[in-house]
Structure 1
Amino acid sequence: MNRREAIKRVTLLMGGTVIGASFFLEGCQRSASKDVETLFDPKSIDFLADLAEAILPRTKTPGAKEAGVGAVIPIMVRDCYSVEEQVVFLAGIAGIDERAKKEFGNRFQQIGKKDQTAFVDMLDREAQDYDKKKIAGELPHFFTLFKQLTLLTFFTSKLGATEVFRYVKIPGKYDGDFPYQKGDHAWAT
């Protein structure tokens, strides 16, 4: 599967467009702000992985952390987002622990899994409300950017494409009447 097809599939999963998708398709040739380099710190990567895991936790299938999403997000932010999008992303990430302390009494990584899920659900609702009200040309909510990167990097990872989706290295002929069984996974190829 090529990058263009993967982005189309993730976009369909998310029910909309991917912020910065044109840059992903062009090969990610954006310059980065110096502040983005802080995302490459091992503690930051672990933090991003835990935040992504709250969105896509391990169930019967691997979670975002196991798929290595935390290590890929800094690369995507650095290489693919405009400087303005990077500023929005970094400001939002920098405020996570403060928000978690306010809402749940502790830093994000120190609260329980149920509270982490509740926290990202709260951020998701906030982002959806913000993005509905924003004027054309305004930058998206930071959590919209984060969630899109989480989904994109997870579903295009080896684990996401082979253990969550059904994967056939070389698919067979087109069959428009292929029987669907309840619980079947979507195809990655």
Structure 2
Amino acid sequence: MNRRHALRHIALISGGLALIPSCDFGKEDILAAYDKLQITPSLKKLLASISDTIIPAGEIKGALDLEVHDFILVMVNDCFNEENQKKFSQGLQSFSSYVKENSGKAFDQLTTKEKEAMVLETAQLKGDDSEEGRTKESIAYFVNTAKRFTIQGYMASEYIQTEVVPYSLIPGEYNGAVLISDLQKPRVNG
């Protein structure tokens, strides 16, 4: 190996090692798919928990199982104007601190009933012209938007449209002599 190449490699390695302490590895990365919203993985997890509180799993899959939180983020990122995106993001970021102030625990540490009560409470917040009032208004906007898109995304999911309430583009045949007790799953016609 050439001595010059060896010295060049040593210089590059030592320069790289000198820069490592200046790197900030503690900051959360912003998810690239939702670039307009500045969503971090922890905020995405919080939104998933909220959507799971709105439509929990039971006999059929819940919102978390169908990943409705991704639908919510895509809709807000792609379909909302800049002002509403900012309001949604501020509400999402302020939601966890509001829950912590009012319940003393993080949202994920609350029981199911406490989560439901907190979502209902935050959906009805009223704001005013003060800083705290604008924060409350953005939290209410965020929760109501998340609720609306959770329901929309859940009902439009492939699972609901194919397995729970089968979708049929063309109406079926009419048979007026069938007892109600003999009917199969309802078919939703487009």
What's the counterpart of residue 156 of structure 1?
156
In structure 2, the CA distance between the partners of 1:141 and 1:45, relative to structure 1 (3 Å rule), is closer
- TM-score, structure 1 as length reference: 0.62
1:43 is displaced (CA, Å) by: 2.8
1:77 aligns to 2:114 (yes or no): no
Unpaired runs of 5+ residues, structure 2, are: 1-32, 129-137
Distance 2:124 2:174 in 1: 39
Q: CA RMSD in A?
A: 3.4
1:162 is displaced (CA, Å) by: 3.2
In structure 2, the CA distance between the partners of 1:162 and 1:173, relative to structure 1 (3 Å rule), is closer
Which amino acid letter does the alignment assign opposite residue 158 of structure 2? K
Determine helix, strand or coil for the equivalent of 1:173.
Answer: coil
Which amino acid letter does the alignment assign opposite residue 144 of structure 1? N
What's the counterpart of residue 87 of structure 1?
86
- Cα contact 2:168–2:187 (8 A) shared by 1: no
Distance 1:91 1:57 in 2: 25
Distance 2:175 2:83 in 1: 44
What's the counterpart of residue 20 of structure 1?
none
- Cα contact 2:99–2:118 (8 A) shared by 1: yes
Distance 1:33 1:44 in 2: 12
What's the counterpart of residue 145 of structure 1?
145
1:110 aligns to 2:109 (yes or no): yes
Which amino acid letter does the alignment assign opposite residue 104 of structure 1? S
- TM-score, structure 2 as length reference: 0.62
Q: Give the length in aligned residue pairs.
A: 144
1:170 is displaced (CA, Å) by: 5.1
What's the counterpart of residue 58 of structure 2?
59
Determine helix, strand or coil for the equivalent of 1:150.
Answer: helix
Which amino acid letter does the alignment assign opposite residue 154 of structure 1? Y
Determine helix, strand or coil for the equivalent of 2:124.
Answer: helix
In structure 2, the CA distance between the partners of 1:155 and 1:120, relative to structure 1 (3 Å rule), is same
Identical amino acids, percent of aligned pairs: 22
Greater C-alpha radius of gyration: 2
- Cα contact 1:67–1:160 (8 A) shared by 2: no
Residue by residue, what CA displacement relative to the aligned partner does 1:20-79 show, whole Å, maximum 9, x if unpaired?
xxxxxxxxxxxx99551x32x433322211110111111222111011111222211110
- Cα contact 2:154–2:160 (8 A) shared by 1: yes
In structure 2, the CA distance between the partners of 1:89 and 1:188, relative to structure 1 (3 Å rule), is farther
Unpaired runs of 5+ residues, structure 1, are: 1-31, 131-138
Q: Which structure has more RCO (C-alpha within 8 Å, separation ≥ 6)?
A: 1
